Amino acid sequence: MTAEQNTVHNEELSVVDSLITESSTTQDEVARMCAGMILDGQLAVLQRQLHADFLKIPTSFQLPPNYTGLDASKPWLIYWPLHALEILDPDNQTDDILSRIGPSIMACLNELEGAFGGGNGQTAHLAATYASLNALAISRDEQVWSQINREGLYKWLMSVKLPDGGFSMHIGGEEDVRAVYCALASAALLNIITPELTEGTAEWISRCQTYEGGIGGAPGNEAHGGYAFCGLAALCILGNPVEMIPKYLDVDSFVHWLSARQYQPEGGFSGRTNKLVDGCYSWWVGGCWSILEGVLPWITSKDVLWSKADLQKYILYCCQSPRGGLRDKPGKSSDFYHSCYVLSGLSEVQHRYSFRPKLRESKSGEWSFMWTYELESPDIVIIDEQNVVGPLNPVHVLPAGVGERMHDFYAALGTLE
Ligand code: FPP
Ligand code: ZN
Ligand code: K
């Protein structure tokens, strides 16, 4: 079935009930607004220069006052825009920008605890640690890499590991599947994955899959796109995804829930049932599709579970802010978080990723670095040359090759004593 037939098909089947609520009204408004912006049979142009200028703000200026709420997210304010800049165009990464990543990130290291906080002197935190290591991967700064105390970081990771197999975000903090993903992705980059670090974790992730088929933040919580990605990507770090995914997830119900995330006529994804489309789910949900397509060949064979063409249209027509940067939906302002994940979603649409276990020796801790990519086929999605963004590692959400290089640096140093 082509994307066009798919649209007609869904409209014929759409059921409108007579109950009007605040949510049904906003849903109708968003659908109408997006439909009005999307031109059929054409593609909007990706405004590269405008987005690059927006994404360079944190590298050259003081952030505007509305960013003060992100004072505990400084590593994210480095990772988000720099990842987005690099997939937009690798030439955006000047030596000057890259050389300033290391010192800025190292200022967030909590030396007493052994991991990174959201800012200078702040508590060590898994989200900040994940964003910090991703930013350091992008820096390619081996001098700074060699300053990281992997033993100390490993001890801290073990201190947030919980007896049920999950992880808490910080010492005494909340336990959720974000924490699992952030811990494992960090450990994979540093080549410090051990059996004791991962014991019981796949089973814990499995308990987060809900009756809807998606993955919730913790066992018993509502399925959500953000957590679905974290759970699926974490399984791809824990072992060979070809075995891990079907072993720990009910794949049919997961795929069923994922396919219900795309809305018509918007073309974008929602994060959960009965909520609105949002550009950032182009990655959180789209990333799940990338991984599944790369691991389970039957998902790759047809374009009937979701429409890449329609997601690309949502991104290009509805998520580009006229002031530069990418956004949740029309009417919202752009920000660095949405720029990172909307552009990653565009990359996912334009590339087909494959998991290739023979690429490397399959030692533990290497599973997430065995991904290859090619441009998606033109009968699945039209890729206009002027809109192409770069490929990713779909597990680490880093420009392709970047996480691999950092992992190899630490692999050459060997494992921990
Ligand atoms: C709902 O917000 C959002 C959540 C419940 C959390 C989502 C989780 C992520 C985005 C993943 C984070 C991942 C890492 C690696 C830190 P909402 O109610 O405003 O949005 P909604 O209406 O779209 O559900
Ligand atoms: Zn969003
Ligand atoms: K893809």
| Cα-to-centroid distance, 106 and ligand 1 (Å) | 27
Catalytic one of 161, 335, 337, 407:
335
The reported pLDDT for the residue numbered 329 is 98
Q: Which two tokens stand for residue 297?
A: 């060949």
CA distances from 224 to 57, 271, 282, 398 (A): 31, 5, 13, 22
Question: What pTM was estimated for this model as a whole?
Answer: 0.95
Model pLDDT for residues 140-161, shown as the tens digit of each residue: 999 999 999 999 999 999 999 9
pLDDT at 261 over 60: yes
Q: Is the CB of 181 under 6 A from ligand 1?
A: yes
Contact 325, 280 (CB under 8 A): no
Span from the CA of 226 to the centroid of ligand 3 (angstroms) = 17
17: annotated active-site residue: no
All domains in the chain, ordered by first residue: 47-413 (1.50.10.20)
pLDDT, residue 66, reads 84
In this predicted model, what pLDDT tens digit does every residue of 290-338 receive, in sequence order? Answer: 999 999 988 865 557 999 999 999 999 999 999 999 999 999 999 999 9
Active site residue 164: no
**Ligand 1 pocket test target in 73, 76, 80, 224 with most atoms within 8 Å of CB:** 224
Which listed ligand is nearest to 126 at the C-alpha?
A: 1
Beta strands in 102-143 (DSSP E): 109-110, 115-116
pLDDT per position as a tens digit, 377-391: 998 899 999 999 999
Would you call 384 a catalytic residue per the annotation?
no
Ligand at minimal distance from the CA of 284 is: 1
Position 254 scores a pLDDT of 98
> By percentage, how much of the chain surpasses pLDDT 90?
84
**Greatest Cα-to-Cα distance within the chain, rounded to the nearest angstrom:** 66
Known active-site residue 335: yes
User: What residues are neighbours of ligand 3 (ion), with CB under 5 Å?
Assistant: 290, 348
* Ranges 56-65, 139-148, 406-415, most confident: 139-148
pLDDT of 255 > 70? The answer is yes
Q: How confident is the model at residue 405 (pLDDT cuts 50, 70, 90)?
A: very high
Ligand 1 atom at shortest distance from the alpha carbon of 397: 15
DSSP sequence for 383-410? --GGG----EETTTTEETTHHHHHHHHH
Mean pLDDT of 397-413: 96
Given the residues 83, 125, 261, 338, the one annotated as active site: 338
3-state secondary structure at position 161 = strand
**208 close to 218: Cβ distance less than 8 angstroms:** yes
Q: How much is the average pLDDT of 10-25?
A: 76
Among candidate residues 263, 281, 314, 410, the one labeled active-site is 281
3-state secondary structure of 223: strand
| Average pLDDT over every residue of 88-108 | 93
Percent residues over pLDDT 70 in the chain: 93
CB-based contacts of 297: which residues, under 8 Å, 6+ apart? none
328, 337, 341, 352: the catalytic one is 328
Q: What is the pLDDT of residues 265-297, one digit of tens each?
A: 999 999 999 999 999 999 999 999 999 999 998
Structural Rg of the chain based on CA atoms:
21
Q: Is the pLDDT of residue 2 over 90?
A: no
**Does ligand 1 lie within 6 Å of residue 183's CB atom?**
no
Q: Answer whether 226 contacts ligand 1 (Cβ < 6 A).
A: yes
Determine if ligand 1 sits within 6 Å of the CB of residue 150: no
What's the whole-number average pLDDT of the chain?
93
User: 339-398 pLDDT, tens per residue?
Assistant: 999 999 999 999 999 999 876 665 668 999 999 999 999 988 999 999 999 999 999 999
Mean pLDDT over 185-201 rounds to 97
* pLDDT at position 358: 72
Cβ atoms of residues 282 and 262 within 8 Å:
no
| Segment 163-167 mean pLDDT | 98
Distance CA 408, CA 406 (A): 5
* Residue 125 is among the residues annotated as catalytic for this protein: no
Residue 351 designated active-site: no
The pLDDT assigned to 362 comes to 59
Confidence of residue 4 (pLDDT cuts 50, 70, 90): very low
DSSP class of residue 262?
A: B
308 is catalytic: no
